[in-house]
Structure 1
């Protein structure tokens, strides 16, 4: 239903809070776009809003919203950006462009919940996983004591490699989240080895730890509570510039990990696809399909399936709002090992996505090569994450943790998330 409480003439139809909320509840495809700069977006936005600043709209829209008749609802907070963004989208060929009635203020006045920070759907989901599964955790002091005593323990850092190199827990090894189930057998072949998973804050360590638990590995596993933030707040020293990475996986361990990952994916309701299904998905005119290669960027550049974008699995789960801005769309995931796509898909399915894993893919199918596009230069209006670096005030770090702890209650008030935890 579309209603208008605004008497200002506009060439764009309006969608109100209730109609957007109903579309989310119905799992209808919808792109709710916040066209302000990231720093402003991070101060307050709806749960499933995707940040696509007006300044980058013409460059990024076609890649992030591939179907031109997607229902798009654009908003700002009275800055005058939304109407200009709608015009740009219309000029790009999008045919179902709407404005959010009353903008962000109208959303709030209608009773809509607003969230702070970025990547909020994933972070809120991570907190829900912890609340429902009671993910095992150890404090920074407990982990340091284990390391100091040289016990049988290995620390696995689930962030991107560049984040790991910026700062890391002493002795830790870089194993980005989707790699954990694939590589843990080679890194900790002794089932008595205690495994600690960390990130910068909470989400990726919770998801990484729970991935290992869900896969049924025999080792004792725990997340480092509050990650490098918790380590810093405890007054403990981080390393910088480390380059420890996981070693190649023997075939017998890959096969075992593939069986574990497939079992988790099946439990989560992940669907199975063949190459013929991908061709069918791409021919559909009424559904958006994101085709994503969840391996490392280096593997992707060496050879990938045509039409698949690089989206390393751990970061994909962390940044669903960036990679999958059309809520209600379909995701199709691919790898060559049967582990990373299944584990990543298991999480996306729990987050309410229709997700398929491409089975039977061979190395010979990955004939398209080439380097990834260069990273986008950072915007002067980029939001500074409280967990980046160690030079943030401790009050900001603690405030960030306190905010994360409150996300489960916010999810309940919002009511649109559709998350189901295994």
Structure 2
């Protein structure tokens, strides 16, 4: 049986820099409405798929909470069934935490709050959209770099912008702006990545004047300015001379911050300690480089996105992190930010002998119900099964098995009880894992034959079958937070509200007192 932990005790873990993972087991929508600073979103229906990479050590302390929905006992049971040995429930849930600590809205809050703190401490220079537009229209010696992921840049960008995700900026800027007289403008969708990108170049000592587009494409759009769509321009790979300059700059700044460079032998020691100290190992290069090969055991986490959304890769606050790249530039710059965010982070020496296959820590036990699997061929033969899709609602909208209903994972049982009929039910999800993991709970509450589609909707597609986009909602789709800084159809009021929210994060951090951030000057 899971134990209980108070909110004050939980906060002491953060203040004392001890390892702990705080899991919000509601859907992402409610999580984005309100959660503690270091909470990580792991919806109860997705525990078996999402938790293992976020919390790789089975003995790491885990705390789960909800807001009175009744998920926590079931979540603790499912987490323990995976082999995790230290699972606790937050006493009183979110409401009790609210009485002793700040709660935040949106997602990736630690990174965004840190970005605001950086701007406040370092006075990161920026210009409003109208001034940037005038510069772009009237000056030739300007380089505009978009610090988001390429996919976001491709969706929409400002004129003359070229893609250069934030972790690549110091690595690639010298050839893009060879004259020190060239003005460099860094933009993102909102604020964080343009602030961090601009400050990265300033920290690295590039000779150019560097400015952030204030409030990113949101600010651009709110001013009524037009964006480009479908652009594909990227900053190129750096020349040897540019790479050498970038390394000197990154190494000097990393030393100033206190980044430690480790050998293969030190990495091996960390790996041997991974059963008692949580370890994450990340390759921070461009994903295209990662796909061509990486040291064993390193997970792709592009540097700019890792800083922007560290909670999407790292679930255990207080854990140890080792970064790798093959030139030493991007890992040093990424580590310099993570260290200031309070992480225990190291860089594997780029000249180190690449480690072999690492020792494998004990892995979570994911047991799928074998007697519940139905193949694509079996489903097509039977023809009597009602299909319910547990994919996130955007994936469901994009395409699903013809006739399938969207079903909320956390509220699956409640909503299945409302389905008329007595015939068999087939659960599916993108790869089938989430569907399989929820069969047992559904069977306990619904007296109908329940199966899952082996291989999920992906297997359906791979068998040559088509998907449809007509929607059928068994559940209200509140599983995903619609980010007001992504896409092209956001309401202006939501965009302005988001900017206003970001601007007050520094005050929230000060009132909360648990962040552990320290911005180096």
Length-normalised TM-score, structure 1: 0.93
2:286 matched to 1:188? Answer: no
Q: After alignment, is 144-153 or 408-417 more displaced?
A: 144-153
Equivalent residue, structure 2, for 1:132? 121
Equivalent residue, structure 2, for 1:286? 276
2:392 matched to 1:402? Answer: no
Q: How big is the shift at 1:365? A: 6.7
Equivalent residue, structure 1, for 2:240? 251
Q: After alignment, is 282-291 or 341-350 more displaced?
A: 282-291
1:336 touches 1:363 (CA, 8 Å); kept in 2?
Answer: no
Q: CA RMSD in A?
A: 1.6
Equivalent residue, structure 1, for 2:295? 305
Q: How big is the shift at 1:364? A: 7.2
Counterpart selection for 1:149 from 138, 146, 165: 138
2:317 matched to 1:219? Answer: no
Unaligned runs of 5+ in 1: 1-10, 369-375
Q: Distance in 1 between matches of 2:164 and 2:78?
A: 41
Equivalent residue, structure 2, for 1:118? 107
Q: 1:362 to 1:239 in 2, by over 3 A?
A: farther
Equivalent residue, structure 1, for 2:432? none
Q: How big is the shift at 1:184? A: 0.4
2:264 touches 2:354 (CA, 8 Å); kept in 1?
Answer: no
Q: Number of residues paired by the alignment?
A: 404
SS of equivalent to 1:32: strand
Q: Distance in 2 between matches of 1:34 and 1:212?
A: 35
How far does the alpha carbon of each residue in 1:231-264 deviate from its partner, in whole angstroms, 9 at most, with x for none?
Answer: 0001000000000001121112111111111111
Q: Distance in 2 between matches of 1:20 and 1:107?
A: 9
Q: Distance in 2 between matches of 1:247 and 1:87?
A: 50
Q: 1:84 to 1:410 in 2, by over 3 A?
A: same
Equivalent residue, structure 1, for 2:18? 28
When Rg is computed on C-alpha atoms for both structures, the one with the higher figure is: 2
Q: 1:150 to 1:365 in 2, by over 3 A?
A: farther
1:166 touches 1:240 (CA, 8 Å); kept in 2?
Answer: yes
Q: How big is the shift at 1:140? A: 0.5
2:256 matched to 1:267? Answer: yes
1:304 touches 1:366 (CA, 8 Å); kept in 2?
Answer: no
Q: Distance in 1 between matches of 2:12 and 2:189?
A: 35
Equivalent residue, structure 1, for 2:93? 103
2:381 matched to 1:391? Answer: no
Q: Distance in 1 between matches of 2:355 and 2:229?
A: 39
Q: After alignment, is 160-169 or 249-258 more displaced?
A: 249-258
Q: 1:386 to 1:366 in 2, by over 3 A?
A: farther
2:181 matched to 1:83? Answer: no
2:307 matched to 1:317? Answer: yes
SS of equivalent to 1:67: coil
The aligned runs of 1:4-23 (5 Å cut-off) are: 11-23=1-13
How far does the alpha carbon of each residue in 1:302-326 deviate from its partner, in whole angstroms, 9 at most, with x for none?
Answer: 0000000000000000011111110
Equivalent residue, structure 2, for 1:177? 166
2:264 touches 2:355 (CA, 8 Å); kept in 1?
Answer: no
1:153 touches 1:195 (CA, 8 Å); kept in 2?
Answer: yes
Q: How big is the shift at 1:390? A: 2.9
Unaligned runs of 5+ in 2: 359-390, 396-476
SS of equivalent to 1:302: coil
1:17 touches 1:101 (CA, 8 Å); kept in 2?
Answer: yes
Q: How big is the shift at 1:337? A: 1.1
The aligned runs of 1:344-383 (5 Å cut-off) are: 344-361=334-351, 378=394, 380=477, 381-383=479-481
2:192 matched to 1:203? Answer: yes
Equivalent residue, structure 2, for 1:6? none
